[in-house]
Structure 1
Amino acid sequence: MRLPGAILTMALLGGQADDPSLAKSRTLDCRDGDTVAIRVRVSNPNQNVLTAVTFPDLVQNVVSSWNDRDLSVEYQGAKLFLKLLAKAEGHLDVVTAAGTHVRLYITPTGAGQEYDGHVVLKTAAAKSAEEAASKLPDALELVRAMRLGLVPAGASIRRGGDALVSVTGDVEGRLALVYETTAYRGYVIRIVNKSPKHAYQLDVTRFSSSRLVLIGAKSLLIPSGKSTLIYLVLWK
């Protein structure tokens, strides 16, 4: 998506901040499969603040589990622009034209705190042959299929039997579907907010695991009496 020049300039300067010195510029080495932490200022109706991330080559695909009310994502060429609309954190997966996959872990910052105005990612040395053999295109395809309710080639699917997998207060998680591929196992879990009064802010980091490859969610904010779906892809 092509952005107007004024927006591009604002993004590279870190948007309209209360103190421009708080908008930091960083240059980092990154490799295929790396996770990069990005600090994004939370915008408000009176102040829009963008964070720009420049990749080594053109941005081709962005895989997001974010709700549009929480995070705005735009990209042009090799640049990705982030505007955080709510105090929330989570992953954003980016695939470049060269096939490089980088996971951004977005964390919010508030007024008076430093944040990333512009992060430049440079190509680092290639990973070992063993690491290179474990790349994520298949996992990206799987999580896309899970979100769309499809069965990708080479995968099988079975019902989860609505098995209870987690309970936290008024919020419970039930297993809806299980996907199987040669390398991965995918889980679709329905998170239900049974509270009659209060919304629930989903923290997907609670589902972290050493075997976790990708995680996504249909929505991060669950109104009272409503549900959402989360998508987990793990190594077998």
Structure 2
Amino acid sequence: MNAIRKYPRTRHLIGSRLQPGDEDLDAVPVSELRGKYVVIEEKMDGANCGISFGPDYALRLQSRGHYLTGGPRERQFDLLKQWAGAISDRLLDRLTDRFVMYGEWMYAKHTVYYDALPHFFMEFDILDTETGVFLDTPRRAELLADLPVKPVKVLFAGEFPGEEYLRTLVGPSYFVTPNAPTQMREDVARLGWDVERAVRQTDLSGVMEGLYVKVEENGAVTERYKFVRAEFLQTVTADGHWQDRPLVPNRLAEGAELFE
């Protein structure tokens, strides 16, 4: 099996709260974005994963630094394996053995509980392995046109609008409804787990995790940064890592279909 193409680590913008594991990355002044064309997305709280095909055109699924080959810690990816397998012919037609499609796998609740997702796989980047370039937003959309693949939410695209405007974009998540706290409590109770502990482990504010900022030019992503709000990090560190907690599924939006 070929060496895995890990998704690049992303530096924080100054003012963003560093997440565990990012302590060795230098934060970047927001002023670095001045005059640049940026695409700003809602940062989703899920599991980073990738979909690609090997030289033998076999489907390959990855998360972080390893391929998904089975085991109890991969339980949250069971539906990903089923979904990707069901549309593998269509994916192969576009990705071939050249492109790696990265996305956030949203099935399991991490810190934010989502109850209005368009899909459990939300695509956010595509690597061209021949050139080493990540495609810009329009080229990604063109490559994936007519496929049942949902991208992350774009909040802004254009010349960087300044730090003040950037901060105003950190608002209610597009994928959390006012009913989410009640819905999560009901789901946890139905599973037979400690509801109050689950509440302590969850950010139920309805506010997005933060922002993901890409600088794009000449058809490619040339820089990438993240901006994470402080309150989110406080919940993350409150009661252990999400992988050591019971698996609580997020929910799809009404009318959304996993298999189209």
Q: Smaller-chain TM-score range?
A: under 0.3
TM-score by length of 1: 0.27
TM-score by length of 2: 0.25
Between structures 1 and 2, the one with greater strand share: 1
